[in-house]
């Protein structure tokens, strides 16, 4: 462990406590809000961080800077071979506040096959993407006929003991905004917390427009008309605003299915409380999902730089972290990479 612990603080006084790590740029889906249907140029294997390189960089964040949470993303993380080996390595990292809280975001298509091995390796929490319960629409949005496998994956995650299991649902006007109640009902019945996510300008084909965004106010209003809710107290830098069903849900007060969340990236940005940074699969360090500049840590690592030297690079990058993403301003510039390449 590093001899001294120091907090990683950006120019606006925000303490960095959450690290997102993309373990691959590849994915077995082609979601319309994330990737083009064809023509993706995948990274060469040699350009992707090895497990040992991921572990070394993660160790710096956890042991030196006290990062409390690590979330594995992609692409689709489960397509990375031998993923439980990496999970086992990362789950053993311990910071000043104890063992790191290790989570993963997945499309769930193969979760039924890997849930137990990931749990045994030390993964604590999972978020599974599920934007629609309609098989035809699922195929339209993901360009894959995998709805039943995703539903099986959700059940498998629950059965092996991931708690809570959360569902991420990106809501796009004219596509799946008529399923808000269906998705809320699914969460109540299956005892999972559904988190509705506003459509963000990270689609590879550039079709995003503000008119396709279904905002938090509208989402909550429509659900409240069927299942009355009230807002829950904020949880520090957590990106989702949470709302509890007044009837306590079907599985008891405080259960995952007794609440919903909304991540209002567009209509109510949480940038002022943002405590997260990101590593892409090729080892580029990003201080914001929408940043237009990256900082290459993998080349520095492979060229033989010490942990102290890499830490200096991390600190210099965090010193340039933006106040906010500027999506609703005229000078907003979309990142050159799509969501699958950034590790959202």
Confidence at residue 203, expressed as pLDDT on a 0 to 100 scale: 59
Nearest CA to 225 out of 204, 246, 240 is that of: 246
DSSP per-residue codes, 114-145 = HHHHHHHHT--EEEEE---S-HHHHHHHHSS-
Are 242 and 260 in contact by the 8 Å Cβ rule? The answer is: yes
Res. 17 pLDDT band, cuts 50 70 90? very high
pLDDT for the residue 64? 97
Higher pLDDT, 341 or 32: 32
Stretch 132-137: mean pLDDT: 97
Cβ burial of 134 (10 Å; 0-12, 13-18, 19+) is middle
Q: What are 147-161's pLDDT values in tens digits? A: 999 999 999 999 999
> What pTM does this model have?
0.91
Paired tokens of 48: 């992707």
Domains of the chain and any CATH numbers? 18-342 (3.20.20.70)
Euclidean distance between CA atoms 134 and 176, whole angstroms: 9
313-337 tens-digit pLDDT:
999 999 998 877 666 555 656 555 5
Task: Tokens 């594995």: give the residue.
Answer: 72
CA 160 – CA 267 distance, rounded (Å) = 36
The string of pLDDT tens digits covering residues 240-277 is 899 999 999 999 999 999 999 999 988 887 777 889 99
pLDDT reading at 119 higher than 60: yes
User: What pLDDT, in 10s, does the model give residues 213-223?
Assistant: 999 999 999 99
Mean pLDDT of 187-202: 91
């Amino acid at each position: 462990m590093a001899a001294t612990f120091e907090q990683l603080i950006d120019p606006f006084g925000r303490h960095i406590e959450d690290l997102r790590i993309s373990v691959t740029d590849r994915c077995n889906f082609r979601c319309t809000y994330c990737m083009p249907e064809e023509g993706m140029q995948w990274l060469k294997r040699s350009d992707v961080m090895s497990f040992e390189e991921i572990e070394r960089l993660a160790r710096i964040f956890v042991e030196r800077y006290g990062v409390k949470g690590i979330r594995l993303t992609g692409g689709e993380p489960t397509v990375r071979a031998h993923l439980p080996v990496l999970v086992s390595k990362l789950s053993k990292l311990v910071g000043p506040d104890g063992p790191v809280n290790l989570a993963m975001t997945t499309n769930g298509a193969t979760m039924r096959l890997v849930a137990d091995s990931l749990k045994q390796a030390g993964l604590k929490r999972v978020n599974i993407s599920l934007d629609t319960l309609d098989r035809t629409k699922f195929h339209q949005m993901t360009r894959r006929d995998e709805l039943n496998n995703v539903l099986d994956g959700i059940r498998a995650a629950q059965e092996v003991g991931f708690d809570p299991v959360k569902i991420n649902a990106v809501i796009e006007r004219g596509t799946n905004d008529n399923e808000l109640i269906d998705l809320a009902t699914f969460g109540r019945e299956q005892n999972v917390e559904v988190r509705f996510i506003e459509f963000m300008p990270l689609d590879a084909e550039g079709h995003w427009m503000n008119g396709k965004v279904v905002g938090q106010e509208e989402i909550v209003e429509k659900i409240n008309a069927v299942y009355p809710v009230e807002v829950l107290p904020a949880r520090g830098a957590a990106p989702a605003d949470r709302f509890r069903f007044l009837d306590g849900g079907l599985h008891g007060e405080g259960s995952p299915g007794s609440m919903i969340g909304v991540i209002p990236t567009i209509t109510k940005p949480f940038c002022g409380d943002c405590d997260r940074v990101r590593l892409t699969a090729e080892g580029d360090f990003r201080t914001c999902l929408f940043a237009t500049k990256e900082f290459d840590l993998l080349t520095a690592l492979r060229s033989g730089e010490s942990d102290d030297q890499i830490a200096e690079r991390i600190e210099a990058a965090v010193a340039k972290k933006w106040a906010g993403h500027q999506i609703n301003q005229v000078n907003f510039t979309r990142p050159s990479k799509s969501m699958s390449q950034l590790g959202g």
